[in-house]
Chains A and B, each alone.
Chain A
Amino acid sequence: QKEVEQDPGPLSVPEGAIVSLNCTYSNSAFQYFMWYRQYSRKGPELLMYTYSSGNKEDGRFTAQVDKSSKYISLFIRDSQPSDSATYLCAMNNAGNMLTFGGGTRLMVKP
């Protein structure tokens, strides 16, 4: 079993929908949680960065971390076709390497 699990999708939604992307993890030592967006044939780009449990909002994006359940989420409000990409969760504890989920492919249809 992988340390970080993520549904590969694809997840197809109509434009304007609220999107929910999730990851579960097994290592309780993880403290730092990130979401990366990766367009086809491009490198991942950092979207959200959170420390420990709680919520963080940035524009249309909200990241949630529930350490007690070992579960993190990324919500995208008012989704746009330009949000179509693969979303990767990543996490680590201080001083250690990033561990990525396998990524969820999102398609937002106009």
Chain B
Amino acid sequence: DSGVTQTPKHLITATGQRVTLRCSPRSGDLSVYWYQQSLDQGLQFLIQYYNGEERAKGNILERFSAQQFPDLHSELNLSSLELGDSALYFCASSVGPPATDTQYFGPGTRLTVL
């Protein structure tokens, strides 16, 4: 158990809908990262927050947004969902801001868009 928690474990929704994925980092970690894992694209970095501020952005679609709250938990919002958004979404956390800090991954949220 990495200490990173993610809810929900599974999410099934329809195209055009909006969902929110939640992540709680390990105790003491200030950075949160979001990743998308699909069969064709592999594990891809979406966005990083450090202590409430956006730190780095990767291949995140404009339909997706994230935020980190004062208690350091983070939410990833996915809107206008398409079939291709079906994937595993992982949250990871680390102590500091550099991406070279060890990242600990949560168990993921499996999103299915029908």
A residues whose Cβ falls under 8 Å from a Cβ of B: 32, 36, 41-46, 49, 88, 92, 94-103
Contact = CB atoms under 8 A, between A and B. Distances in A.
Contact of B42 (A32, A43, A102): A102
Contacts of B58: 97
Contacts of B108: 41-43
B105 A45 contact: yes
Contacts of B105: 36, 43-45
Q: Which 3 A-B pairs have the closest CB atoms?
A: A43-B105, A100-B43, A102-B42
Interface residues of B, number: 23
A101 B104 CA distance: 17
Interface of B: 2, 4, 33, 42-45, 48, 56, 58, 90, 92, 98-100, 102-108, 110
A102 B41 CA distance: 8
Contact of B98 (A49, A95, A99, A103): A95
A47 to B, nearest CB: 11
A88 B43 contact: yes
A100 to B, nearest CB: 4
